[in-house]
Amino acid sequence: MQDNLKSSSYQQLEQKSKYTNMFLRWFLYFVLIIFASYFIFPLYVMVVTSLKTMEEIRQGTLLSWPSGLNFDSWAVAWGGRGYGAGDTFLKPYFWNSIKMVVPAVFFSTFIGAMTGYVLTKWRFKGDSWVFLFLLFGCFIPFQAILLPMARTLGALGISNSIVGLVLVHTVYGIPFTTLFFRNYYVSVPTELVKAARIDGAGFFKIFFKILLPISAPIIVVTIIWQFTQIWNDFLFGSTFSFGEAAPIQVALNNMVLSSTSVKEYNVDMASAIIAGVPTLIVYVLAGKYFIRGLTSGAVKG
Amino acid sequence: MFKWLEKNLPKIVMAPAVGLIGWFVYGFVLWTLYISFTNSKILPKYELWGFGQYEKLWASRKWLISVDNLLVFTALFLIFCIVIGIILAIFLDQKIRAEGVLRTIYLYPMALSFIVTGTAWKWILNPTLGIQKMFIDWGFENFTFDWLVNREMAIYTIVIAGVWQSAGFVMALFLAGLRSVEDEIVKAAKIDGAGLFTVYWRILLPMMRPVFFTSFVILVHISIKSYDLIVALTQGGPGISTTMPALFMTQAAFHKSQVGLSAASAMMMFMAVAAVIIPYLYSELRRENAR
């Protein structure tokens, strides 16, 4: 009897907690979905707006569905309208950005790999100070170097050129790439390197035969990080280049701000998507590495 | 000779990185510091002039507005990013279905440039065809949402777009932090009768102190440097109501021929960042050495 009572009240309790649990679950999903819609909303608006005609934009609302798949504004954003002066479109600037990103990512990643290797496997007196010295470069506000950089690029004869931007992005990428490789190589057992040294392997041989083959993950992380940073940069691009040498973000901003005739929001949105698509693709395909780059710079270990 | 080369090869390999950073970071910052003490206008001059530029800076109404905006923006940006980030991280940590998809959605803005997202937000927030029109068309005839062109409110549009861009990042940091806590701790607390709320509020969140610290440092850093978003969204306007230090600096340097003044403003930004970063690096280094 006593037992029976106990178990039934327990069952009641369990039933009750099951209901609260279910309620909590629903609440949980509700909140998560509300936030998801807040995050997805601008992307949705960008895509549908880019597919509408200006007439549709004026008549419908932000959320309304386009009448069809109309890629005209994409064509205008990418290739222009085909008349001469004043016709700005993204195609040449998209290639500028590619020409800037590829070498800058390559050089900064290579230098970072080398410094990370030395700082962990060929330690010397004061090496942690050297690391700190490089690391501080991650944090300086770039405003503090804009003026002398502009003068230096001028003195080198590479202001307003893609070569100049490659130099700038390579240099200011080194602190980050060094940080990534150093933190990765720290966890590689030093015994491996020591054994190879006893066997007579030299500096470069050890790097190429032992470390490089196991570096794929960190190379991917670094390349993605640098690619995203450099592709999305606006400050350097807008300060050190203009006109024909401008990278895509600068061109996008100029296009959107140009106050000629009527504002064409559909073309603006198509342009913004074109400028954002490369990094977005990388993010969707390699999100894991992207997040690792974001967090490994911040939370170590 | 060959022996020497071999012995010093690691240092030789390090040299380019150290040299480049030494010149382009430290050298350049020192140059800017020096110029901030001169009376440079269009071109740099090298005779020292004392603290004149700093006096001019702090007497400038535009700079004071910039600093004011920066403080307002930083406070709101921090609070909203951290609160939203924590809520999302805790909720996602409850063995949610489709967690991967949700996480991807929360974080994708980080992959886009502020120019791209600023362009999108500018279109959404514009009063004639954006959100305001949407609500009016839905039947709310007196609905107004003109923050983007309203002097008093424009700064908050930058907060909206900034939080949207960065909250997912805080979520990722906290989620990584929560996942690194050992299950045993949570289990032990549950056996002792602690509810889920208590587990998070009393046990897990206090353990996340380093993550709070990291998020704080990174977000303050982002906000002090914010430039692109303002350029894309408001260009500092209406009027000068949304200027911030980074915008002030580039305008003074490259549009107004006030090289000395811009150097002074850059140094103020540098010091603000250093005040946040140096304690951070110090504590990180101590943690590392303690291992």
Q: Between A and B, how many CB-CB pairs are < 8 A?
A: 257
Q: How far is CA B12 from the centre of its chain?
A: 36
Tell me the sheet residues that pair with B48: B38
Q: Which two tokens stand for residue B18?
A: 């150290």
Cβ-based neighbour number of residue B145 at 10 Å: 18
Per-chain mean pLDDT for chain B: 88
Tell me the sheet residues that pair with B38: B48
pLDDT in tens, A116-139: 999 998 888 888 889 889 988 888
Q: Does A229 touch chain B (CB under 8 A)?
A: no
Q: Closest Cα of chain B to A220: distance in Å?
A: 15
Q: Does B30 touch chain A (CB under 8 A)?
A: no
Residues of B in contact with A238 (CB under 8 A): 231
Q: How far is CA B219 from the centre of its chain?
A: 4
Q: What predicted TM-score, i.e. pTM, was given to this entire model?
A: 0.89
Gyration radius from chain B CA atoms: 24
Per-residue pLDDT at B81 exceeds 80: yes
Instruction: Determine the pLDDT at residue A110.
Output: 95
Would the CB atoms of B92 and A178 count as touching at under 8 Å? no
Q: Does B250 touch chain A (CB under 8 A)?
A: yes
Q: What is the CATH number of domain A91-296?
A: 1.10.3720.10
Dist CA A185 CA B213 (whole Å): 25
B233-263 in b/e form (b: 16+ CB < 10 A) is bbebeeebbbbbbbbbbbbbbbeeebbbbbb
Dist CA A206 CA A249 (whole Å): 41
Residues of B in contact with A175 (CB under 8 A): 21, 25
Instruction: Determine the pLDDT at residue A301.
Output: 29
Q: Does A42 touch chain B (CB under 8 A)?
A: yes
Q: Where are the domains of chain B?
A: 61-290
The residues, any chain, with a CB within 8 Å of residue B64's CB and separated by 6 or more, are B58
Question: Are B227 and B250 within 8 A, CB to CB?
Answer: yes
Q: Closest Cα of chain A to B220: distance in Å?
A: 11
Question: Are B176 and B243 within 8 A, CB to CB?
Answer: no
Would the CB atoms of A136 and B281 count as touching at under 8 Å? yes
Instruction: Determine the pLDDT at residue B114.
Output: 93
Residues of A in contact with B120 (CB under 8 A): 42-43, 45-46, 269, 272
Would the CB atoms of B119 and A300 count as touching at under 8 Å? no
Dist CA B128 CA B132 (whole Å): 7
CA-to-CA separations, B286 to A140, B210, B219, B279, in angstroms, rounded: 21, 13, 22, 11
Q: In chain A, which stretches have pLDDT less than 50?
A: 1-2, 5, 299-301
CATH fold of B61-290: MetI-like fold (1.10.3720)
Interface test with A, best of B25, B131, B212 (most A CBs within 10 A): B25
pLDDT in tens, B142-197: 777 878 888 888 899 999 999 999 999 999 999 988 888 888 888 888 788 777 78
Dist CA B46 CA B34 (whole Å): 8
Output the CA torsion sign for A237, A239, A242, A244. negative
Instruction: Determine the pLDDT at residue A100.
Output: 95
Dist CA B88 CA B77 (whole Å): 16
Of B210, B235, B199, B217, residue with least CA distance to B81: B217
Q: Does A35 touch chain B (CB under 8 A)?
A: yes
Of B191, B210, B212, B194, residue with least CA distance to B202: B194
Instruction: Determine the pLDDT at residue A72.
Output: 84
Of A248, A211, A222, residue with least CA distance to A95: A248
ipTM above 0.85, yes or no: yes
Instruction: Determine the pLDDT at residue A194.
Output: 86
Instruction: Determine the pLDDT at residue B205.
Output: 87
pLDDT in tens, B196-227: 788 888 888 888 888 888 889 889 988 998 89
